Amino acid sequence: MSASEAAATLCVAGQFCDGYTAIAHPVNALFSDASLVLISPDIHRTVNLSEVRISEALGQVPRTFTFADGATLVVPTSDELSKKLGESIPKLQRWESKYRYAVVALAAIIGSAWWIYSCAIPYIADQAVARFGTELESEHPYSTLANLDAAGVWKPSKLDESRQSQTRRAIAERLRLGHVDLKRIAFRDSPDLGANAFALGGGDMVLTDDLIHLLSPEEQIAVVAHELGHVHHRHNQRLWLRQVGLLGAMRLLLGTNGWHDPIANTTQLLGQTRYSREFEADADAYAVGLLTESGISPCHLATGLRKLEAAAPVHARTQSEWFSSHPLTENRIGKFEGSCRARD
């Protein structure tokens, strides 16, 4: 053996079994480019590596060399051995040995993203609205009544003026509105939106004609109380700002371009629905408080919701809870039906 051949040989201590007995013999295994030599006081064996079956490199699992006659050699795995065997997977092997770090890092990234999504963004957005709510209103004009009228979202109401003022008067007389301006309650017609109510940016509220036709006066008042909850808590602004924050975070994390990226759109939808559901629960709680204070049973919210659900298009009723902006109507109704039983 020449000096250069000796330098190219890798010597590894291993255990040899002859395939006939279970006795393991300590041996030195010498790997050169094409052959494997086993040496011990009573073993000397030379084989061509091409005639040996070699187990795959997998993390720190020892490598097993199986010879044609059933004898085996087991040696510790190593990058040097893989290199000597001409394998191209040492990188994969290194990655596998470090997969635990990868799992921990992934869990940390997901945990951080969840915290930003469910805690940090809502907190920062809500604080900003609490401090700069009025200024934000002028920066957030897309959901104001005038803009939605101009965009053709709905048509002018077909209810005559006396019906509109009668409804406003009923609301004013029965509901202790305090500082809320009744002139901000508007009526609009839209077959597409059906029986519906909306609290808009700027504090306006829209009741559709179908809603007035469908609900009793008490149920209309209950729905208005719910919408007043949205106005009171400035939900419109808070939702808008949270979505802006969520998209900003998305851009930073995923490097997307925000508004039109499919991933951003999906995440925005999930964010919007999650945040909206939180707001719906708040508005419901506000409505129950206001109705009770005004001597009106929250039961009317339950019966009103039942009618609205029955009148809603089928696709809106079968939305999953996760994707629905309103918590499932049945869940909401359940909270108010206790007051119906108390009234019976």
* Contact positions vs Zn ion (CB under 5 A): 280, 283
Nearest to 36 by CA among 47, 50, 52, 26: 47
Q: From the CB of 230, what's the least distance to Zn ion, in Å?
A: 6
Residue 159 vs 231, nearer CB to Zn ion = 231
SS3 39: strand
Q: Cite the beta strand spans of the chain per DSSP E.
A: 10-17, 25-31, 35-40, 43-48, 53-54, 63-66, 72-75, 155-156, 185-189, 197-199, 205-208
Q: Which is nearer to Zn ion, 204 or 280 (CB)?
A: 280
Are 107 and 70 a contacting pair, CB within 8 Å?
A: no
Min dist CB 111 to Zn ion, Å, is 31
Which pair of tokens denotes residue 202? 């700027």
HSE at residue 91, side-chain half, CA atoms within 13 A, is 1
Identity of the residue, 125 or 283, whose beta carbon is nearer to Zn ion in the bound complex: 283
**Which residue, 55 or 319, has its beta carbon nearer to Zn ion?**
319
3-state secondary structure of 59: coil
In the complex, minimum distance from the CB of residue 283 to Zn ion, in angstroms, rounded to a whole number: 5
Q: Which is nearer to Zn ion, 12 or 199 (CB)?
A: 199
Q: Which of 163, 151, 202, 203 is nearest to 180 (CA)?
A: 203
Nearest distance, CB of residue 316 and Zn ion, angstroms = 14
CA 28 to CA 106: how far, in whole Å? 42
Closest approach of Zn ion to the CB of residue 151, in Å:
21
Q: What is the smallest separation between the CB atom of 104 and Zn ion, expressed in angstroms? A: 41
Nearer to Zn ion, 219 or 280 (CB): 280
Rounded to a whole number, what is the distance in angstroms from the first to the last CA of the chain?
103
* φ, ψ (nearest 5 deg) of residue 78: -165, 160
